[in-house]
Amino acid sequence: MIKRMLLLAAVALFAAACGGDPEPTPTPLPPTPTTAPATATTAPPTETAVPTAVPTETAVPTETLAPATDTPAPATATPAAASAAAVATVAATDSATEVAAAAAPESPLSPPESPLAAPVSPLALPVSPVAPPTVPVLPTPEVTISDTAGALVGQLVVVTDAGERPVSNLKFALAAVIVDDNGVPKVAGYEASTAPSTYTDEFGRFALSNLPASNYAIILDAVLTQYLLNQPGIEDSIILEVKANEITDLGRLEYASIPIPGYQAPVEEEPAGEAPADGGG
């Protein structure tokens, strides 16, 4: 094809140079075969002619990953794990402390003592303006005993719902007990002028010294009234034995009341009964 075109161009140039007949009408060339042999005239492929599948970062979904570092991210612990870790830490600390204490060598030397005494403050300790409550101390009774005589001590108190009240400043006397042939007490003989006696103090305490060894009953003498004292809570009279060279301690005798003016329990009044019905017509 190229050769044919070159040939036509050469002919045209030659005719123009010779000045000959007017330009001849180009004679159509016979048709050439349409099938041309494959030549190297085929245009080389371009980058745009052949689409290539180039993967891009947006075409393939990727997962955003944190850059790897040498320091691992701290794990979030659950409350149970945190509690177990705390217990393990405490146990490890205690164990380490015990091991360190066991491994620590004991010094054979005692710690040095300072030759200087602790300084003494010249100021006196402050005294509280409020005095502490004092508990009354019962006086210790002084009694005398001998090889032929003994002594008797004790305390007499009336206790009610309102509190307790010592039986104070009351004559406390002893009556000789008369027994039968079998030694059973029968009667107590009391003579106010000759019977051993004393007065109770402000705490209700009493003390009698130099008592001949014998059996006695207790008499509360209020001048106009004499009362044979019974055992607390029962109706039996107190019969005590005084021995030579011994002190008989009756301890604390508590009563709800005693039939002595000022120490008796209040008498409850009985409700008034209904008035009798009038039987008159």
Please state the rounded mean pLDDT for residues 63-90.
55
Q: Which residues contact 85 (CB under 8 A, 6 or more apart)?
A: 77
Per-residue pLDDT, 146 = 95
Distance of alpha carbon 40 from its chain centroid, rounded? 104
Reported as a single tens digit per residue, the pLDDT across 222-256 is 988 999 999 998 889 999 999 999 999 999 999 99
Reported as a single tens digit per residue, the pLDDT across 147-187 is 999 999 999 999 999 999 999 999 999 999 988 888 888 88
Diameter over CA atoms, the chain: 206
Per-residue pLDDT, 93 = 66
pLDDT top residue among 84 and 259: 259
Per-residue pLDDT, 34 = 52
**Of 75-79, 120-124, 183-187, 213-217, where does mean pLDDT reach its minimum?**
75-79
Q: Which domains are seen in the chain, by residue range?
A: 149-255 (2.60.40.10)
pTM of structure: 0.48
Q: Three-state SS for 232?
A: coil
pLDDT top residue among 47 and 261: 261
Amino acid identity at 40? A
